[in-house]
Structures are given as structure tokens and as C-alpha cells.
Chains A and B, each alone.
Chain A
Amino acid sequence: MQSEDMMSTIPEHANVVIIGAGIVGNSVVYHLARKGWTDMVLIDKGPLPNPGGSTGHASNFIFLVDHNKEMAALTLDSTRQFKDLGVFTQSGGIEVARTEARMEEFRRRMASSKAWGIESYLITPAEIKELVPYINEEILLGGFYTPGVGVVDSLRAGTLMREYAVDKGALTLSPNTEVLDIEVKNGRVTAVVTNRGRVAADYVLIAAGVWSPRLARMAGATIPLTPAVHQMISVGPIPILEQTGGEIKYPIVRDMDTFMYERQNGSDMEVGSYAHRPILMRADDIPSIEEARLSPTELPFTEEDFDPQLEQALELMPDILGDERAGIRHAINGLLSLTPDGFPLLGETVEVKNLWSAAAVWIKEGPGVGRMIAEWMTDGYSEIDAHHSDISRFYDYARSEHHIRARTSEAFNKTYGIVHPREQWESNRNVRVSPFYSREQDLGAVFFETAGWERPQWYESNAKLLEEFGDRVNQRPHEWDARWWSPIINAEHLAMRERVAMVDLSAFALFDIKGPGALDVVQQVAVAQMDVPVGRGVYTPLLLPNGGFKSDLTIMRLGEDHFRVVSGGGDGARDRKWFVDHLPEDGSAQLHDVTSGVSTIGVWGPKARDLLQSVTDDDVSNEAIRYGRVKPIRIGGITVHAFRISYVGELGWEIYIPTEYALHVWDILWEAGQPLGVSTAGIGVYGTTGRLEKGYRLFGAELDSEYTPMEAGLARRKVKEQDFVGKEAYVRALAEEPAAILCTLTVDDHTSASGIKRYMQGNEPILTPDGERIVDAHGRGSYVTSAGAGPSVGKYILMSYLPPEYAKEGEKLLVEYMAEQYPVTVAVVGSRPLFDPKNERMKG
């Protein structure tokens, strides 16, 4: 008899090693194979098809609606893929409300579902009962019904996807293989060492769910997630479910106010909960496959955490769950991955080149993420904008265990929560504060956080301005519209437009690009011509290879070989990686992050020049510092850079001050400004009201990789001669009729059916006068990218991309908010400001 060596061997080399054969790893290998990748190796520590990760115990249902566009798009794409694989069973899903606040949330969800093109309905308790006969509708106020909700066989999907790549000869499988080390050389990943041998690899992708942080650490990288427990029990057999004879016939119910779900699984009802205390684990504390009773990600059920939920479940479905013959047949504390902001962790890690992450992904996003990662790795961009999920969005502090645990603990019970779009975190605050923080506190600043920075959103001390501006300050009578908001913002806005205001901009991310190769670096990433005279500042889009936005920011030329990049605090981490990625290998240019060393004050308003001139001996006249110029001047003996620019459309400067001198300069300006009526203005003015009146675009709102400068009204006919990322697509777009054009709209009437005036918050769908969805030639729906007051124009302003047939000034359309429709008018097509269209105030 002849024997055979069954210990599978592992290839010595691979183009890419994918670690983790859950839904994500399998989806990635499928899409990479489709895109022509070969010599791939898929490793998992466990056996196939169920290696014991979170995919294996997932409840596998897909609810489609998310307020966030990126997550909704990934979910829709995944659903399409699951259907193509034949593993999707449509059941419908009903989110039910026990409270009026939840009903309001459902109305808001109606807007999101329409914005992203998902069929949904608000239904009555009686209608719920018709769909789910065993529900106790008496405790419900209504439901949000999405017929397209369903369940998938995620293990089968993974198997089919994996097999595609294997059949194509592109993939070697290596199950039961433990990764011992990930080797890195010169900051680039080179190999994966396993208990079956070493695989040299050009790329390594970590798709190992809850184990990802541990694997990343082997390479000196971070994947900032924490394993956390989600409790689930399975109750059965239940006769009414048994009679259906299938996996699922009744709609999945999400009992939103109790943070639970009830999902039929054959003759059982699975009851899951997000209501218990956050139970966080550490990747190192997850048991091995052999040690675990069920699987490493199915931990012992902690009964006391679930007990309160039993009663609530019983209340909702008393007939079936109260049946003494139906037993709790299975109960687990299932592990899933949580991140500080709830978004996945996708893309190349910031620490190690060619080491990619595809982690913290739910079943509903798996195949979409697979496609996104494969496109990104192959082409440098993905069809669906990825910036929310981009792993490089976190600054160093936010990749710490400290931050992750604080935020995920706070976020866990928001899984089914009603989260206001402006809602602020409570945990791990005051991480980054500007030198002006104590002054701002004294002025009653209400701080909002961006990337760890505490920024005044408005100042309570400015309440005195409310009286001065009277009716010009718009009020919001509805609590939801006014939550995390103050009319003081509008008063600060008007005071700035009449006199002068100081704005703390220290949260700017600043990096200096220096060296003989510096010009080439900025030329390569910027659309605008960067070979400008020293002392010039340039606003420019940064593009991806597809011509969509990577970012937009300002770059100052401070010296022949010295450029200073100014990016928003929220975008700085991603932008920094983008610049680092484009630094020359020969070291002829370097990036220096000067964020911590420089603090910034914006001084804007008609009296800004009077104020600045009063504190400096240097000439700050229009002739001395023209718009778009940056110049060193002295204030109180301190050399600062005064950059004549404005995001609010007023005369003024951004003043860049070395941090240790910054408070001194603030005090000089504040004191000198008193006779001029200086006031402070918060980010409410800087980021919303001032900006919207001027039609300025914001990355992440109007601008993302799905739209081009042509569509955003930011393209210039003259294209610089030098090459830059996305140039080819940019030039092509210039020649084409854009499929959509970014427009400024104003709301004609805010009065709701109840008579209360309502104010949109963003993400609402723009509809035809007949109430139909507006979709452009690329299939993108029109929705509100930004919304806010324009106190100086006396209008409430919305921005939205519209297809050319609707992008006509004066066009009457509708916006849907909280399940009601309001008339709007297209006020501006393109980037012309609504306020001071000729920019006379700013440039005078």
C-alpha cells in the first residue's frame, strides 16, 4: 500500500497572501482573481469551510438602510453579489418602534432609504401584525418595513467565491495554517511566516476579523479594532415556524427600542441583543480552536447580561417565545469587531507598505468590501467612495487601545440607537486642545470634537448678539432640528459679516514638504499649478486615478523647496498618508508634520484689516498682501504667517503662529479688537453658514471619489502641463457633459403638516415636483450634501448634485425630510456664491 504525504505545503512565493478565510478574505480573493491577479495564497488558522471566525456564527441577515452613503452602497453591492451567488433568501425586514422618538427616526430613515434608492415603507401596527402574526402589536407604534431585507448563507458564499479563484488557477488554499510572523523590510511587507513554512509575498492582506490587530502587530502595524461580544440565543422548536418548512419565511424583526432582533432560523427564533453592557475582549485573549467549546468566536454565554432582554423579547412575541415547550437550544456570546467610529478598516496600513487591512466588516458589507479592496489594490481607487472606511483616517492616538476601548464602549449601545448626525462623543475627550482653549472656555465655548481636537462650535457668551440681530437669526422650533445646534451660530455669523471675528483653526493638519524634490511631489498630487512664486497659496483638488476627489486643500509655497499643506483636521490623517505615499524614494523630499508646532487663528470681517494693522508694524494693505498671498509679519514681536484667504467669504487672514506664542498673539488680537467690536465665531460659522453662503465645497460632503471636479464646479479649462494623479480622467471629464452638477438650492417653505417649521440636516433626497427620485446617468441619486442657514442671504441653503435636466437656476423641486416634502428652488448651478457673488468683500 502506498501512502501519501497529506500535510499540504505552502508556496514559497505569492503575489498576495490573504490571511483569513471568512466572508471578507473569500470575497477579496474572488474579486482579485476577477481582476486578473494570480499566485494568491489564502491562509486560515482554522479548517475550511468554517474556520471558526465571526462569519461562522453570524446571524447572516442584511438590513439595507443606513444613513451613511458609503455603508449603504457597500450593503447594496453586497446584496447584489449574494443574489448572484444564489445564497440570498429574501424575507423582508421590519424595524419596529415602541416610542415616538423611534417613529421620528423611522421618518428620517425614509429619507435615507429614498436617497440611496432603497424601497421602504412606514407601516402601522396592524400592518406589522399582518406580516408577523406572532407579534404583540399592542406595544408598538409603527414599523419601518424594507421588503428587500433577507438572509444569506455566508459560508456558502465564501466557498463559492474561493472556489472561483481556485478554479481559475489563481489561488492556493492553506487552511489549518497558523501565521507566526509577518516580515517587513524597509517599511515594506516581504513575507508571511507560518507553521507550514514561509511565503515571500509582494502584498499581504489581513482579513482576520477579531484577530486582525494581533496579526498587524507582527508587522509593526495597527488595525484599530476590538473584539466585542454580541449575545444571541436560539429558541425552538416553535410550531408556527416549523410549519413554514424553510429557513426563513417571516420578516426579520428589529425591536429597535430594546436593541434586539428576532430572526427566524428554520423552526427556531434567534434573538440577538445589543442591549447588554459592552463586553470587550482583547485579540490575545481569544481561545484557540482546540480550547474553545464551540468555536473561538463563540464564547460562553453570560446569562446575567441577557436576562433583562428575555422579558422584552417575551413582551414582543409572547405566544411563541412564551411557549414552555420552546427551549433555549443555543446561546452564545458571539465575537464581532468594533472600531472607534463604527466604520470598517480598509486599505493599506499607515505603518507598512503593501500590508493591507480588510477588517471590522459585517456580513452585509462583505462582498462589497471584497470588490472595493480588489479595485483599490489593482487600480488605486474603488467605484464606491472609501474614505469613511479608509484605515488611514486615524491619527496615532486614535489607533491606541485606550481610544478604541473608550469609544467602542460608548458606541456599543448605539448600535440600534437614535444617533443625531451632530451627536458628540462623551468618552476620551480633551485629547487635543489648542493654546486658546482656556480663553474659549472663559467665553462659554461649546466644544465639538474633530479627530481629537476640541473646537468651539459656538460660544454661549455670544448669546448677547441674539438681541442685536433679532429676526435675522433663524430659530429652529423642533427639538430634533435644534439638537446639537444653537441660534448663536447665526448671530456669530452676522457679527462677523458686520464687524470682525476670530476663529480658532488650530485643528488644521499641517505638513511641510521640503527638499529639492518638494515641487515635484506637490505637482504630482495637486490638480492646480504648484510652480507658483514663493508667498503664494493655492487651493487645489487632489484626485484619484479615476478623476474623483481624494481631497481638497490649500498648499502654500513658503520657499523654493518648501511647501506647506493645510488640510482639515478630520481629513489630515488620510491626506498625510497620500502625501507620504507620493514622496520620492530617493529621499529628495520629506514630509514634516508641523501640526503640533503651529496654531492658527482666522481673522475675518470688514474690520479684519483694521484689526490686523493695529497690532503689526508690517503693511497688511491689499497691495502688500493680496488675496491668496502668504507673508511673514510680526504681531507683538512674534513672527507669524499671515495668509490672505477665506472660507467664509470675508476680508481676512489665517494667521499661523508657533504654538508656544499663540496664546500671546490671541490675547493681543482680542484686546485690540475690542474697540472694533470683535467677537469669536465657532466652527458652526466657519464650517456651515459662512461656507454655504459662499458655495464652498467640503470634502466628505460634496466632494468624494464618486464625483469629479467638473461635476463639483471646481474644474479649470486650463490644465497644467505637468503630470498629476488623475490627470487623464480629469482631462477626459472636461470634454464631457457632466452627468450631474453641484447646485445650491434654497428652501421655499419650511412649514410641515403640523405647522412646525422643519430644517433639513443633510442626506435628504431631492425629488422632482412629482415626488420622484432624481437619478443621474451614472445611477447616482440626488441628495442633500450639506444643509444650513444662510443668515446673510435670509435663506436656508442646501447643496446637491443634480443631473443637467434639473440643474437650471429657478427650477422648482422638492426635498423630503421626516417623511414630508418641502418645496425648494435651484438658486445657483455651479460654484457661484449666493452671497457676494463677485467676491468683492474678500478680495477688496
Chain B
Amino acid sequence: MNTLVCVKRVPATGARVTLTPDEQAIDARYLSFAVGPHEECAIEAAVQIAEEYDGDVTVLTLGEADAVEQLRYALAMGAHEMILLETEDGDSDWGPMATAGAIVDAIRQKEAEGDAFDILLFGNDSADAGGFQVGVRVAYALGLPVVTGVKGLEISDGHATARREGGGGWEVYEVDLPAVFTVKEGLNLPRYPSIPGKLRARRRKPETIAPNRGEDGLEKIRLKVPETEKKQAQILGHGPEAAPKVADILEELGLLS
């Protein structure tokens, strides 16, 4: 049971973000980098599947050379192989169509080499761009079924049962493998990498593929930080004495029926 996990290197931001002067990116001078919370869960799910069904976890990213940090993080969590679709310096901000195209090329290349994947995991949406589509595009290009927003995943005999929130409860999907799943935080509680894991990962080098950048129809012009409406909260009071004022408000809003 071989799994591919696709992740993206993104800055781990604080309460306020600052943009670079050219307004093309977040100023990451003070920031560390990570994979998004959804993708951490994807790695965890893949590692659990490999632990249970014996198989390899390959983690893939598209980015500049330093994105190997995120691949190694996944390795330290228990992934086995790394693929870096290495872009030129300063050219890692690919749109969803180009990104999906490069991933599809890489998967086909691996298949041609005899390394096919049974399960392909993506984050439901990337922490930074939030495009909601790379995993879906990859699935369609490969002709594979895809379930999105997955928060529960069980594998058995070439078959997967996926759960996601919907209709006030859970929707259940059944698909045959190979299949693509875009997962969400809450799928599991991802482990932290162990020291032995870190040590195993630290000297490993990723398989590097130079991707071809295809067309993309969504062209970023610039980023901007929204003007947040600064409210001056009305202070109802201090401590429990202020509680009746809350009751007043709830009453005004018609919530004390």
C-alpha cells in the first residue's frame, strides 16, 4: 500500500502579517516555515496507513531547494521517500493549474519507473493560497476518484471509506483504490517528529525533478492586507457584576425566548 502525500511549504505566521515591498508575498524574515495543518494530518494519515498495511510513504512538494525542510519534517514523522519538484529560485509561487500539472507529470514519471501509488493525499486547501483545487485537478488528470474535505479515512482491500462533514452530520463515501483524498485538520492528531526520526531524515536527499511550468489562468497581481475594522468594544463592566448587562443584550437580540 503506497501513499503519496503532497505538501506545501508556507510561512508560519503570527497575529499580523507584513508583506514584502513588492506585495507579492508575505515577509517571512521573522517566520519559520511549515506545512499547513491539513497537510500535517495528511502525512500522519499516510504514516498510519503505512504502519498498518506495510508500504511506503512518499512525500512530494513543489518549491525551491529549501522546501526540502518540509520534506524532511515529513520524513521525521515517518515518511519514507521524498520528491522535490524543484523550481528556480524566486519562482515557487505557481498557480493551481501549473502546480497540478507538474505533480501529474511527476506521478506519471514514477509510474513509468514502476512506482505507482494506491493512495494520494492532499490538504483540502493550502494554508496560504487556499485554492481548493490542486488535489482535484490531479485526480481528474489521472482519472482517479477524489473525495475532498476528508476527516475520516479507513482502508481495506483496495477500497477506502472516507468521511466528511456535511448535512449536519457525516457524509460517507466509498471508493476503490487508487484514489485521491484531500483531507482536513481533525482527521487525526499528527505526531511530532521524534529525535531518531529527525536524525534519520537529516542527511537524506530528495529525489529532485525539474518541473515544467504550464499555463495558469489565474494571474496574481498583488497581495494586500485587509483593513480590519477596528472596533472600540463597549465595556459592559468588570467581573461577574456585569452579567445582567449581557442578559439585557441577549434579550434585545431575542435570544431569551
Contacts and interface: CB of A to CB of B under 8 A. Distances in A.
B166 interface: no
Contact of B16 (A290, A299, A313, A324): A290
Contact of B30 (A300, A303, A313): A300
B168 interface: no
Contacts, number: 77
Contact of A307 (B30, B33, B197, B198): B198
A329 interface: yes
B118 to A, nearest CB: 25
Given A3-B234, A3-B235, A6-B235, A293 B195 contact: no
Secondary structure of the A contact surface, majority rule: loop
A282 to B, nearest CB: 12
B14 A328 contact: no
A4 B237 contact: yes
Contact of B31 (A1, A4, A293, A327): A293
Nearest to A290: B16
A24 interface: no
Interface in A301-333: 301, 303, 307, 310-311, 313-314, 321-329
A648 B127 CA distance: 74
Interface string B184-228: 000000011111111100100000000000000000000000000
A325 B198 contact: no
Given A293-B31, A301-B32, A4 B235 contact: yes
A323 B14 CA distance: 32
A287 B30 contact: yes
A139 interface: no
B245 interface: yes
A187 to B, nearest CB: 37
Given A1-B245, A291-B18, A321 B195 contact: yes
A292 B193 contact: no
B194 A293 contact: no
B18 A328 contact: no
Interface in A721-754: none
Contact of A310 (B13, B195, B237, B245): B195
A291 B16 contact: yes
A235 interface: yes
A293 B13 contact: yes
B232 to A, nearest CB: 9
B209 to A, nearest CB: 24
Interface residues of B, number: 29
Contacts of A3: 234-235
A323 B196 CA distance: 8
B3 to A, nearest CB: 19
B195 A328 contact: yes
Interface in B140-198: 191-198
Nearest to A286: B30
Contacts of B69: 303
Contacts of A329: 192
Interface in B1-40: 12-18, 29-33
B197 A310 contact: no
A327 B234 contact: no
A321 B33 CA distance: 24
Interface string B63-90: 0000001000000000000000000000
Nearest to B72: A303
A235 B31 CA distance: 22
B251 interface: no
A324 B30 contact: no
Given A1-B234, A6-B235, A307-B202, A327 B14 contact: no
B234 A326 contact: no
A4 B236 CA distance: 8
A311 to B, nearest CB: 6
A56 to B, nearest CB: 15
A362 B65 CA distance: 39
Contacts of B194: 235, 322-328
B196 A324 contact: yes
Contact of A293 (B12, B191, B236): B12
B36 to A, nearest CB: 14
Contacts of A326: 194-195
B30 A299 contact: yes
Nearest to B249: A1
Given A292-B14, A307-B202, A1 B196 contact: no
Contacts of B191: 325, 327
Nearest to B245: A1
B230 to A, nearest CB: 13
A328 B198 CA distance: 9
A300 B11 CA distance: 10
Nearest to B73: A303
Contact of A322 (B17, B196, B248): B196
A303 B33 CA distance: 11
B28 to A, nearest CB: 9
Contacts of B32: 293, 300-301
Contacts of B234: 1, 3
Given A1-B236, A6-B235, A301-B32, A235 B195 contact: yes
10 contacts: A3-B234, A6-B235, A291-B17, A293-B30, A300-B31, A307-B202, A310-B202, A313-B195, A314-B196, A323-B194
Given A307-B199, A327-B192, 15 more contacts: A287-B29, A289-B15, A291-B18, A291-B30, A293-B14, A293-B31, A293-B32, A294-B14, A300-B31, A322-B195, A326-B194, A326-B195, A327-B191, A328-B192, A329-B192
Closest 4 CB pairs of A and B: A327-B192, A300-B32, A290-B16, A287-B30
